[in-house]
Amino acid sequence: MKKILVLIPAFLLAFQISKAQTEKGSQTLGIDLQFMYQKSTQNVFQAVPNPYESEVKNTNFSIGPNYSYFIADKLDIGINVNYAHTSQDSKNSTYPNNATSHQYGATLFLRKYFMFGDKLGLRAGPYVGYSRYDFKSIDTSTPTKNDNYSAGATMGIVYYPAKKLGLAATLANFSYNHSKIKDDGSQIGTTNNVNFNIINNGLLLSVFYIFGGK
């Protein structure tokens, strides 16, 4: 009986901590980190010249702050700003090529939380974003700029190891992207694409501090 009486207030305390982390009025401030490395090799068969092996390496790193405000229990709205650097190293026997790009962007999001107890849960919701790419290749003297507009939805996992600390990882992302490519101020093309990724475009991790609320 004594053990039960001890466990009841402990359970209620854990529930209140969990509720406070996602209750209306709570705020979060943190940082997003993402890293991706891809390497692919293929044999290219052509009549002229002779067949050759092509190897492509892609490395991407991004970082930026994020902020959110809970407009209702288990529902927050927020923004993140990011900087990303991407490098591509392409090697083959006839046409080596290196390229780099720098990206600056911001995203507005709305997320709904689904908690499984006091520490672990899922969050999902829509977003809209804008980013600007500056791209330069070793074989071109003129850099190109890419204005990218995106909209979609993400789903991720969230974990609270402490009352004021949260960790999160994006598990899936569905997006529509519209891009305008410019060269020296002149528009040279547009692209539209739809993507669905499950972690395979690089794992996005977030660490955030929780404040405000009751």
Domains of the chain, each with CATH number or no CATH? 2-212 (2.40.160.20)
Q: Provide the pLDDT confidence category of residue 42 given band limits of 50, 70 and 90.
A: low
Output the pLDDT for position 4: 46
Residue 97: closest CA among 135, 49, 145, 47: 135
pLDDT of 46 higher than 70 = no
- What average pLDDT does this structure show over 140-163? 88
Which one has a higher pLDDT value, 8 or 162? Answer: 162
Q: Find the angle CA(138)-CA(140)-CA(142) to the nearest 5 degrees.
A: 120
Contact 194, 176 (CB under 8 A): yes
Residue 81: closest CA among 67, 99, 95: 67
pLDDT of 86 higher than 90 = no
Output the pLDDT for position 158: 97
- What average pLDDT does this structure show over 101-128? 95
Q: Provide the pLDDT confidence category of residue 181 given band limits of 50, 70 and 90.
A: confident
pLDDT of 52 higher than 70 = no
Residue 113: closest CA among 81, 152, 150, 71: 71
Contact 106, 81 (CB under 8 A): yes
